[in-house]
Amino acid sequence: MIRILKEQIEKERIKIRIYILGRLHSKAHIFDYPDGRHDKGNAIIGSSNLSLGSLSDNTELNALVPGNSNHEKLTEWFDRLWSQSEEFAEDLINEQSKSWALNEVRPYDAPKIICSMAMLKTYRDAEIAPRIIPELSGT
């Protein structure tokens, strides 16, 4: 998934900007219809992100917001925030290039990861945990 995202950003098929003027937690999924239709589009606003967890496991609340007037107002809101945001693609590509998710997983890596996760789950609160998984020591 990260590899595909990186490729799409490099091909400029996805544009990403970062909003730095404050905390932005709003979720509005705005869908534009092709020209020639009476409706300009629709939007969904609510608590969920477009992620597998939020769409399948989480308890979320979203509402469909139909109507050209609503579509226009939400598009203006989005465009205003977009124009106040800064370019982010180059920084994101650099970070993605460092990501473990882009590295090929070697056959002997998977058991080590699974074993570490099992030990973490088992010994998280135990005094022995920091000796088994040094990252837990906090030092």
Residues 63, 119: one domain? no
| DSSP count for the chain of H helices, then E strands | 6, 5
Give the E-state strand segments of the chain in sequence order. 17-18, 28-32, 41-46, 62-65, 86-87
Q: Are 52 and 67 members of one domain?
A: yes
Question: Do 62 and 75 belong together in one domain?
Answer: yes
pLDDT for 119: 53
If asked whether residues 124 and 85 sit together in one domain, one would say no
The pLDDT of residue 114 is 55
Q: pLDDT by residue (tens digit) across 59-113?
A: 888 899 999 999 999 999 999 999 999 887 666 667 766 766 666 655 555 555 5
85 and 112 fall within a common domain: no
Q: Are residues 36 and 71 in the same domain?
A: yes
Q: Are residues 30 and 80 in the same domain?
A: yes
Return the pLDDT at 66.
Answer: 92
Answer whether residue 120 shows pLDDT above 80: no
At 111, phi and psi to the nearest 5?
A: -60, -35
For residues 97 and 55, membership in a common domain is answered with yes
User: Do residues 53 and 109 share a domain?
Assistant: no
Domain tally for the chain?
2
Instruction: Tell me the residue range of the domain where 124 lies.
Output: 104-139
**What pLDDT is attached to residue 117?**
52
